[in-house]
Amino acid sequence: MEGSSGTWQGLALVSIVTWICLSSYLKLTQKFRSLVQPWVARQVVGGVPLILEIQKHQNGVMDAFFSGLSCVVSVPFYTAFLPLLFWSGHGRLARQMTLLIAFCDYLGNCIKDVVSAPRPSCPPVRRITATKDEEDNAMEYGLPSSHTLNTVCLSGYLLHYVLSFFEHEDASIRYYGFALACLLVALIAFGRIYLGMHSVVDIIAGLAIGVLTLGLWLTVNEKIDNFITSNQNVSSFWTALSFLLLFAYPTPENPTPSYEYHTAFTGVALGIVTGVQQTYSQFHHEGAPRIFSPELPVTAYLGRVMVGIPTILLVKVCSKSLAKWILPTVSNTLGIPIRSTTYITQLKLDNKGYGNEKNTDTTKNSAGYSQKLCEFLNQDSFDIDTGIRFLQYAGLAWSVVDLVPSLFSYFNL
């Protein structure tokens, strides 16, 4: 069993490396974009009159309602909500929701940056961005609608989990649950058009990709969960997978925040997987106390939240500080050219990047290999901010499922 597991893990990683090499050499992203982008752009322009017609009925109440609804189904909201779900005792649901969000976020942002299709032009469309997160979202490309895609997948999986967990046989309950999920998706989809964030073609693409992704996830989710909890090279495989996914991400026509979002949630997925794999039998097994049970009353759960939230915020700050210190040092030692535009303000870059100051033979050799890799990937240097962000969120997620539950055990929570 372990031999077959190691075989498919190796094949998966080799396949990704092969894809990275082929897509870079053959310029597959640019070729696919040249075929799809013009058609999508025409659909976006053609959909502007419909958006303007909808926006004729705008008012303050609807602005607040759809802006608030978009925030509730955004990735930052899920990121804040998932720790509470882990600490409630529903470990399987929390694991699956985390990995599903990470997968949807990666898939959706990949497609956005491959196609690089514009959002509806503003003006004439009025774009409502009530939060900083929405302002950042507006800087991304349009197709598909990530909010629509994520809502389809997460509401669908949550409905599946609830019906399976409580084993409802009443058909009316299933119908009402399905209708409620559909209503939420419809409101989110309409709201994205109303707010001027997406055109109809973006929504249709989000719906289609979301349905296909949900169907795939419902097919493989049990196998993924069994793998995470099986102790079969989980941490090493997932670390290698996460690292390769950073390189497999397509290059957009122009820089957008999409890559930053995927990097953060890929780090979250790695932290969750490694933490759960190490502590599954202690804190995350199916027999763990669940909220509202005698073993975990509401008062004890509130105690968990009061201990857990400050702890994970502290770990996030410490992880970021350590990464900002360690990564530049390691890069400099290995002769890896790096750059930073956000996290390390004192890092001054020349045309060759940072990290080639030493003249020892070892550094020269390592610098030569790293420069060849940079040239192959069409980069003069590597963005150190990517590594910092990745480690920061990996540390945060690890603390949610490993460090904080250990504190709960210590404080009898």
Q: Which residues are catalytic?
A: 147, 198
Tokens representing 228 are 């995470």
| Residue whose structure tokens are 């990121």 | 79
- DSSP result, 333-370: HHT--EE-SSS-TT----TT-BS-----HHHHHHHHHH
Question: What is the chain's alpha carbon radius of gyration, rounded to the nearest angstrom?
Answer: 23
Which class for 246: exposed (0-12), middle (13-18), buried (19 or more C-beta within 10 A)? middle
Nearest to residue 142, comparing CAs of 169, 122, 167?
122
Question: Could you tell me the CA-to-CA distances from 76 to 136, 193, 265 in Å, in that order?
Answer: 12, 21, 10
Cα 205 to Cα 213: distance, rounded to the nearest angstrom: 12
- DSSP result, 275-288: HHHHHIIIIISTTS
| Residue whose structure tokens are 């898939």 | 107
Cα 75 to Cα 84: distance, rounded to the nearest angstrom: 15
CA atoms within 13 A on the CB side of 128: 22
382 sits in which H/E element: strand 382-383
The dihedral of CA 169, 173, 178, 184: what is its sign? negative
**What's CA 292's distance to the chain center, in Å?**
30
SS (H, E, C) 6-18: HHHHHHHHHHHHH
Which class for 264: exposed (0-12), middle (13-18), buried (19 or more C-beta within 10 A)? buried
CA angle 330, 260, 396 (to 5 degrees): 70
